[in-house]
């Protein structure tokens, strides 16, 4: 999961006396977001992608609605078409792609491809907004794409995961587009309120398709609980926790959580679902997470 498009990059809290909380909060958020891929593996086969996404969006928006209510005066009517477009690109479609992939591949596949969102954000900024990308990020992108190729070549339980890897990579690319749209067209607005608004718009856009594809069979308690946790805990509470981190330590440090999510996702899936870490997942994860870390390194000062 990527919330980087819904951040406030310049918000940094002056309180340094709570710095010891940062590793705990980053680890806790990574553990929460790591479970999202576990919950999708449990709920997606029962609900199908679109009904599950509808529940996720609606419940996540409901949790964040107090932020939207407090900042309602800042979201003038003319902004809502942009909010709806961002919700479609940055939430509805990526969530559906990850839910679709969750029916076809282990949780680690989606989590690993999700990490590419950070690199895709830089690539989209370079291709469409004229930002300089730099040689370090070019190398990072190449390494990340190599990781996706390795991941797509792997198998799980004897079945290819190429389609799931392609879906997850496409979702990560859409996150990159959504991030840049928020930065340029919704800058200066309260981030949590923007998240609530985009999730609510995405839920409304997804609703007709969810109703049309709602499963005819009764759905058991397990998938319902997983869907509720995916929406309220991973999407609603997780985003709120992320924004709190951004306000306290800044977006550049908060994005470190991206590196940790696949580790927790694989661990949760192994512990609770018995899904193994395959060699292709290990190699791909190393390449992709290493490339994300490389791409986040600041450029060396001139003359050094």
For residue range 34-86, what is the model confidence (pLDDT) as tens digits? 999 999 999 999 999 999 999 999 999 999 999 999 998 988 999 999 999 99
For residue range 196-233, what is the model confidence (pLDDT) as tens digits? 999 999 999 999 999 999 999 999 999 999 999 999 99
Give the span between the Cα atoms of 141 and 99, in whole angstroms: 25
- Checking if the pLDDT of 33 tops 80, the result is yes
- Checking if the pLDDT of 13 tops 60, the result is no
- Local structure of residue 156 (DSSP, 8 states): E
Question: What is the token pair recorded at 191?
Answer: 């981030």
- Checking if the pLDDT of 244 tops 90, the result is no
Residue 15: which H helix or E strand, with range?
none
Question: What is the token pair recorded at 177?
Answer: 């587009």
Who contacts 149 (Cβ-Cβ below 8 Å, separation ≥6)?
A: none
Give the span between the Cα atoms of 227 and 273, in whole angstroms: 16
Locate all alpha helices (DSSP H) within 103-220, ordered by sequence.
107-114, 117-129, 134-152, 162-185, 191-212
């Amino acid at each position: 999961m990527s919330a980087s498009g819904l951040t406030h990059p310049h918000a940094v809290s002056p309180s340094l006396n709570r710095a010891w909380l940062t590793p705990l909060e980053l680890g806790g958020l990574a553990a929460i977001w790591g479970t999202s891929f576990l919950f999708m593996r449990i709920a997606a086969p029962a609900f199908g992608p679109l009904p599950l996404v509808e529940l996720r969006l609606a419940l996540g928006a409901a949790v964040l609605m107090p932020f939207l209510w407090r900042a309602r005066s800042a979201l003038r009517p003319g902004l809502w078409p942009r909010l709806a477009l961002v919700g479609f690109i940055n939430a509805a479609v990526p969530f559906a792609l990850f839910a679709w992939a969750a029916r076809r591949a282990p949780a680690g596949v989606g989590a690993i491809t999700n990490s590419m969102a950070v690199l895709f954000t830089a690539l989209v900024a370079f291709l469409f907004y004229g930002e300089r990308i730099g040689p370090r990020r070019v190398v990072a992108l190449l390494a990340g794409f190599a990781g996706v190729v390795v991941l797509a070549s792997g198998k799980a339980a004897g079945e290819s995961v190429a389609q799931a890897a392609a879906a997850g990579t496409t979702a990560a690319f859409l996150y990159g587009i959504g991030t840049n749209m928020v930065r340029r067209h919704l800058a200066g607005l309260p981030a949590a309120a923007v998240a609530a608004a985009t999730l609510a718009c995405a839920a409304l856009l997804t609703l007709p398709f969810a109703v049309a594809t709602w499963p005819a069979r009764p759905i058991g308690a397990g998938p319902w609980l997983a869907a509720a946790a995916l929406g309220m805990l991973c999407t609603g509470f997780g985003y709120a926790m992320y924004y709190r981190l951004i306000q306290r330590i800044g977006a550049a440090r908060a994005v470190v959580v991206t590196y940790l999510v696949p580790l927790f996702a694989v661990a949760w899936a192994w512990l609770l679902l018995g899904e193994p870490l395959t060699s292709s997942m290990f190699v791909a994860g190393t390449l992709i997470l290493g490339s994300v870390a490389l791409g986040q390194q600041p450029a060396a000062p001139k003359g050094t």
